[in-house]
Amino acid sequence: MKLNRRYFIGASIAMTAGLAAPLTRAAPNTPPALPPVPAQPKLAEPPALLQQALAALDRHGAQIALRDRLGIADFSEHSKEMRFHMVDIEAGKIDRSYLVSHGRGSDPANTGFVQRFSNRPGSNASSKGSFLTGDAYYGKHGRSRRLHGLEEQNDHAFARAIVIHGANYVDRDMAIDQGRIGRSLGCFAFEQSEIGEVLELLGPGRLLFAAG
């Protein structure tokens, strides 16, 4: 299910809407009628993908030191979509969304859709599941951040050098002109203009959750 900001702000809109009802004019010598007490809105269930990410945060809580923010890669979406979401848990909202690549091995025909996941070294595929963000370093893609897979389906991430980095094949103009962005070797690659912000917001000790 696609995540969007409307889920997070819908409740506050519903609450303020109840306070905007006009008062009716009272008859002479009759105390004015009090406005009805607005009913407390029923919050919608969080999107399934967000529920999965929050469950993963609890499941791996002993290894994840910081629980104020997490990143979600929604690989069910096409690569031309802003499918990586930065969730501000304390504020209860999606803070920002970005383009993000998937691996060549996950999409051999270059369709823009993930066809499969793999944890196998040499597969050049994306892995899904829970990742712990590690240290930043400078490599062939510039400033990057290491990732540690926390589950059997991604526990070779560090050895495979699956990291967060910037790449010139992730670009909004490319997404429009070609209908898709480029593919990585399994890394989470972002636009060069956005990678500094991503690395700052998703610093060490946080959860990156990938699903599709």
| Average pLDDT of span 26-40 | 50
Distance CA 204, CA 199 (A): 9
Please tell me whether residue 207 adopts helix, strand or coil conformation.
strand
Nearest 10 degrees: Cα torsion 12, 14, 15, 21: 140
| Percent of the chain residues topping a pLDDT of 70 | 78
8 Å CB contact between 94 and 86: yes
pLDDT tens figures, 165-211: 999 999 999 999 999 999 999 999 999 999 999 999 999 999 999 99
| Average pLDDT of span 53-69 | 95
8 Å CB contact between 151 and 133: no
State the chain's mean pLDDT as an integer: 85
- Residue 92's pLDDT is 81
User: Does residue 23 register a pLDDT over 80?
Assistant: no
Whether CATH 2.40.440.10 fits 41-211: yes
User: Does residue 150 register a pLDDT over 60?
Assistant: yes
User: Does residue 8 register a pLDDT over 50?
Assistant: no
The structure's pTM equals 0.81
Residues with Cβ within 8 Å of 195's Cβ and at least 6 positions away in sequence, in order, are 142, 143, 164, 165, 166
Distance CA 166, CA 142 (A): 7
- Residue 90's pLDDT is 85
User: Could you tell me how far CA 187 lies from the centroid of its own chain?
Assistant: 15
- Residue 91's pLDDT is 85
Domain extent listing, the chain: 41-211
